[in-house]
Amino acid sequence: MSDELYTAVDSYLDELFGGPDRVLAATLERSAAAGMPQIAVSPNLGRFLHVLALARGARSILEIGTLAGYSAIWLARALPADGRLISLERDPKHAEVARQNIAEAGLSDRVEVRVGRGLELLDELRDEGAGPFDMVFIDADKAPYTEYFHSALRLARPGTLIVADNVVREGRVALGPGDDEAVTGVQRFNAALAADERVAAAIVQQVGAKGHDGMAFAVVRAAAGANGGS
Ligand code: SAH
Ligand code: DHB
Ligand code: MG
């Protein structure tokens, strides 16, 4: 199997569902025009996040790592009219492009982009009494993924779905310790997730237009003492 074939299948699947709509295409175009890294989730994984949010019946979603708002739009489209997505982004330029994309998507009424360092913003959310969130999507810098996970648990309740992107990193997670802090960050996260009895979790590897990577999925258990712990 080649990367070319994975990409062809990703295109096939995307086209099967009608391909990108005007809003999502414009979102990626504005992000490219702004010179931002093209590291949004793939169309099919965006669609998957949307389906997960619907399956969860999510009314409140927290995202860590907005970029240009591509995944935020997929997620927010699953919210009811009075639902809410808060997305955290360190780079003010990314946040500005994201806000524009979210406005063009007609979702400004339910999406808030907050600018700052993820861990600090998460502490602020906790201090404000925000949450509990029905779903959390972790997709910012990889080194503190474990800390994002623990912060997410503090903003969660039983049934909360926590998803984390990029936890396989072209398979490098399986190759033992190295000196890439993104890889060691997700290795540490994967181990913490697998060992945490407060959640039922699985990690799934994926191939496609964005290469070989994976997502982690965790549901906070009823007996987890969520909101109190970690
Ligand atoms: N979820 C997006 C992609 C996010 S890319 C999508 O799929 O469409 C990762 C983003 O996290 C980048 O925009 C980067 O600026 C941001 N980021 C990196 N470190 C961060 C930090 N410490 N706190 C908040 N955001 C951060
Ligand atoms: C990177 C970050 C991401 O969130 C992603 O989906 C792909 C790549 C990166 O920092 O390289
Ligand atoms: Mg990612």
Closest Cα to atom 9, ligand 2: which residue? Answer: 39
For 199-221, write each residue's pLDDT tens digit.
999 999 999 999 999 999 999 99
Q: From the CB of 114, is ligand 1 less than 6 Å away? A: no
Question: Quick one: CA dihedral 7, 13, 18, 23, positive or negative?
Answer: negative
Q: Provide the β-strand partners of residue 200.
A: 219
Pick the CATH number of 3-220 from 3.30.360.10, 3.40.50.150, 2.60.40.740, 3.30.450.40: 3.40.50.150
Kindly give the distance from the C-alpha atom of residue 66 to the centroid of ligand 1, in angstroms, as a whole number.
5
With bands split at pLDDT 50, 70 and 90, how would you rate the model's confidence at 2?
confident
**Which residue would you say has higher pLDDT here, 2 or 126?**
126
Q: What is the mean pLDDT of residues 30-49?
A: 98
Phi-psi region of 170 (alpha: psi -120 to 50; beta: other; left: phi over 0): left
Looking at residue 227, its pLDDT comes to 52
Instruction: Give the ligand with the smallest distance to the CA of 182.
Output: 2
CA of 142 to the centre of ligand 3 (A): 9
Checking if the pLDDT of 226 tops 60, the result is no
Q: Where are the domains of the chain?
A: 3-220
Q: Mind listing the pLDDT tens digit for each residue in 85-105?
A: 999 999 999 999 999 999 999
Give the distance (Å) from ligand 2 centre to CA of residue 126: 26
